[in-house]
Amino acid sequence: MGYTLAKDGDREEQKYWTAFLRDEFAAYETVWSRYIVPLTGRPHHLHFKTDAELASIGRGHADLCNAQLHYTTLVHLSRAWELRKTEVRTIESFTEAITRLSAATDVADELLQRAVSPGNYDPWDETPSVRRAWRQANNYPLQPLRDYRNRLLHGRIAPLVEVEVRGPLPGEVVYVPSSSPRRFIALPKIGREAAYLDWRKVVGQPNLGLTALRVESDFALTINIVNEAWRDVLSYLQQHWTDTLVPAFT
Name the pTM for this structure. 0.89
> Is the domain of 55 the same as that of 168?
no
> Is the domain of 56 the same as that of 165?
no
Cα gap 45→148, rounded to integer Å: 41
> Is the domain of 32 the same as that of 78?
yes
> Is the domain of 132 the same as that of 68?
yes
> Is the domain of 147 the same as that of 187?
no
Q: Considering its fold, how many domains does the chain have in total?
A: 2
Query: Is the CB of residue 70 less than 8 Å from the CB of residue 115?
Result: no
Secondary structure in 3-state letters for 76-101? HHHHHHHHHHCCCCCHHHHHHHHHHH
Cα gap 230→45, rounded to integer Å: 33
> Is the domain of 148 the same as that of 48?
yes
> Is the domain of 81 the same as that of 15?
yes
> Is the domain of 53 the same as that of 106?
yes
Neighbours of 121 (CB within 10 A): 18
> Is the domain of 140 the same as that of 185?
no
> Is the domain of 51 the same as that of 128?
yes
Q: What is the pLDDT along the chain (250 residues), one digit of tens a residue?
A: 689 999 999 999 999 999 999 999 999 999 999 999 999 989 888 899 999 999 999 999 999 999 999 999 999 999 999 999 998 989 999 999 999 999 999 999 999 999 999 999 999 999 999 999 999 999 999 999 999 999 999 998 888 887 776 666 555 433 333 445 677 888 999 999 998 888 877 766 555 544 444 435 788 889 999 999 999 999 999 999 999 999 999 8
Question: Within the chain, where are the H helices?
Answer: 5-8, 11-16, 22-24, 27-31, 51-56, 61-85, 91-116, 129-137, 143-154, 209-216, 222-240, 246-249
Q: By residue range, what is the domain housing residue 205?
A: 161-222
CA nearest to 128, candidates 100, 109, 102: 109
> Is the domain of 140 the same as that of 182?
no
> Is the domain of 147 the same as that of 176?
no
